[in-house]
Homo-oligomer: A and B are copies of this chain.
Amino acid sequence: MTSSMADTFPGSTRARVLDLIRTRGQASRVELAAATGLTPGTITNAVRGLVDDRLVREAGRVPSDGGSPRRLLELDPRAAYSLGVQMDRSTSSIVLADFTGRILAEDSVRGAGEDPPDVVLTAIAGAVTDLLDATGVPKTSVMGVGLVTHGPQDQGRGMVLGTRPTPAWSHYPLTDTLSDAVDLPVLLENDATAAALGEQWLGEVTSDSFGVLYLASGLGGGVVNGGEVYRGPSFNSVEIGHITIDADGPLCDCGNRGCVEATSGTAAVVLRAMTEGVLPGRLSLSGERDRRLADFQLIAQAAHTGDPQALELVRSAATGLGHAAVTLVNLFGLDTVVLAGPGFSVAGSELRDGITRVLHEAAFSRELAPVDVRLSVHGSIAAALGGALLVLRSGLPTSPTFHA
């Protein structure tokens, strides 16, 4: 089922019409024809089918210049639902969205740590079932699950290809396993790409072209260009975390040396803090590998309240992240960067200020216009929501049992 969903993305006339109405909230048939370039007749036929299938409904009339009033269309929020799961080493977030893309409920569960994938996916499947039970949404109305995690990925096969967090994850059938466990279609997406989609949807970014730095256990990147997510030929983009910023720097989980993730990511900050005399005791850092994002947030909290040693660590990380932002902006020609993910949820303003400073000093376009740096106000749920949106946009369910 996973691959058939992916095959219909970005989809048929029906899918395009649904996506336009979803994005605009309400739209008339005339507006849909103008936006798609399709003929009024084609739009009328597509809308008739969507209304018959109870996916779209009339939403009233608005006056029109000289002619008959335009009849507005909207999605039926209860026509279908979608789940998004952002799976990270430190914590995983789950959102349930209705057919319009509105978040109905969210939950978080313990992250993957270094557990084997079957254990992690079983826990996620349980949380998904609990969330559906708690909201009373029947599984037969759920289109599927967008599973969002780090790369590199083979999205067609639903696998992570690298050996992180442990070799057991490499080529493990993630989507097939989760699909069997929850009895729903599952598709796989890169966390930063999903965060870019989620940020765009949540309306914090007015530009239709922007980059995302996604800071969680790792550091990911995403680019939206002209409203479309950038996808390279291999689907393993935008791997901003593994650019070298110090060729003699520390060894990275990826096996390379001096990656920005290894010098300036959340785990790197925690590893440096653990060597800083009294800091681990003063901040009650656990030092455990599975708890690095939590430890980072303790350090970020201390920095935010003025602890000078913690602030120095956060500022140093911000400089490294700033160089990553410069690279993202220079290569993709962007003027807006969104800082997203749980790594930015505590000391976001301190990190933002440091990243902004480096961008204003070093971005190639600084002579033209300053880069706009925005802090996501949605924390870790933007990526999970992006996963749910991908499912909503992936095409229409064809299962005869779809409507509950």
Contact between A254 and B364, CB atoms less than 8 A apart: yes
CB-based contact A226/B237 at 8 Å: no
Neighbouring B residues of A333 by C-beta, 8 Å: 231-239
Q: Is the CB of A232 within 8 A of B225?
A: yes
Are B242's CB and A364's CB within 8 A? yes
Q: Look across to chain B and name the residue whose beta carbon is closest to the beta carbon of A367.
A: B162
For the complex, give the distance between the alpha carbons of A319 and B248 in Å: 13
A47 at the interface (CB under 8 A from B): no
The residue on B at minimum CB distance from A221 is B331
Contact A327 B243 (CB under 8 A): yes
Distance in angstroms from A329 CB to nearest chain B CB is 9
Contact between B362 and A244 (Cβ–Cβ < 8 Å)? yes
Is A238 touching B331 in the complex (CB atoms < 8 A)?
yes
- A234 CA to B333 CA in the complex, in Å? 5
Q: Is the CB of B368 within 8 A of A243?
A: no
Count of chain copies: 2
Contact of A243 among B151, B236, B331 (CB under 8 A): B331
Q: Which partner residue on chain B sits nearest A257 by CB separation?
A: B362
Partner of A331, one of B163, B256, B327, B368: B327
Q: Any chain B CB within 8 A of the CB of A365?
A: yes
Contacts of A243 in B (CB 8 A): 243, 323, 326-327, 330-331
Chain B residue at minimum C-beta to C-beta distance from A256:
B362
Q: Which of B152, B207, B230, B364 is A368 in contact with, Cβ under 8 Å? A: B152
With contacts A161-B367, A162-B367 known, is A330 near B242, CB below 8 A? yes
Q: Does A58 contact B (CB under 8 A)?
A: no
Q: Flag whether A381 is at the interface (Cβ < 8 A).
A: no
With a cutoff of 8 Å between Cβ atoms, the chain B residues found around residue A247 in the complex are: 245, 319, 323
Main SS of chain A's interface residues?
loop
Instruction: Determine the residue in chain B with the shortest Cβ distance to A328.
Output: B331
B237 close to A332 (CB less than 8 A): yes
Q: Are B163 and A239 in contact, CB atoms less than 8 angstroms apart?
A: no
Is A209 on the interface with B (CB-CB < 8 A)? yes
The B-contacting residues of A in range 340-387, CB under 8 angstroms, are: 361-362, 364-365, 367-368
Most B CB within 10 A of own CB, among A151, A231, A242, A328:
A242
Which residues of chain A (235-264) have a CB below 8 Å from chain B? 235-240, 242-245, 247, 254, 256-257
A254 to B367, CA, bound (A): 9
Given contacts A331-B328, A364-B242, contact A233 B209 (CB under 8 A): yes
Cβ distance A85 to chain B, nearest Cβ, rounded Å: 23
A233 touches which one: B151, B161, B207 (CB < 8 A)? B207
Nearest-neighbour CB distance to chain B for A244, whole angstroms, equals 5
- Residues of chain B lying within 8 A (CB to CB) of residue A245: 244-245, 247
Least distance between A284 CB and chain B CB atoms (Å): 33
Indicate whether A293 reaches chain B with its CB closer than 8 angstroms.
no
Known: A152-B368, A240-B330. 8 other contacts (CB 8 A): A162-B367, A207-B233, A221-B331, A230-B230, A231-B333, A243-B327, A245-B245, A257-B362
5 smallest A-B Cβ distances: which pairs?
A232-B333, A237-B333, A209-B233, A239-B330, A242-B364
